[in-house]
Amino acid sequence: AQSVSQHNHHVILSEAASLELGCNYSYGGTVNLFWYVQYPGQHLQLLLKYFSGDPLVKGIKGFEAEFIKSKFSFNLRKPSVQWSDTAEYFCAVIRMDSSYKLIFGSGTRLLVRP
């Protein structure tokens, strides 16, 4: 079965630190990839997405992610985090040859200390 792994369940950083959250998926075919963010008490919002083309994609709020096909990875990065980035981050994958099913990782809780 396809799975999405987020290895860091909890991350604590100080403001201005750099962030990298890992995401790996297990499916070998063509996929669409997403990162969503969930601020405390809110719904999921799209941070960025990758469908094809340049494997380095930029999203909102200074986030970016790099798709490395050989490693089945789609890691999220931000050069300098802010207190307002405190949230839970979810990686998600859709297989391009399957019916509509967005498969989520278990999430990473990020706490940014002022």
Cβ neighbors of 75 (< 8 A, separation 6 or more) are 20, 21, 22, 23, 65, 66, 68
| Member of 81, 107, 110, 112 binding other proteins (CB under 8 A) | 107
- Cα(17)–Cα(37) distance, rounded to whole angstroms? 18
Shortest Å, Cβ 85 to other proteins? 19
Whichever of 100 and 114 has its CB closer to other proteins, that residue is 100
Residue 106 CB, shortest distance to other proteins, in Å, is 4
Q: Hey, which residues between 15 and 74 contact other proteins (CB under 8 A)?
A: 32, 34, 36, 42-46, 49
Say how far apart CA 87 and CA 95 lie, in whole Å: 26
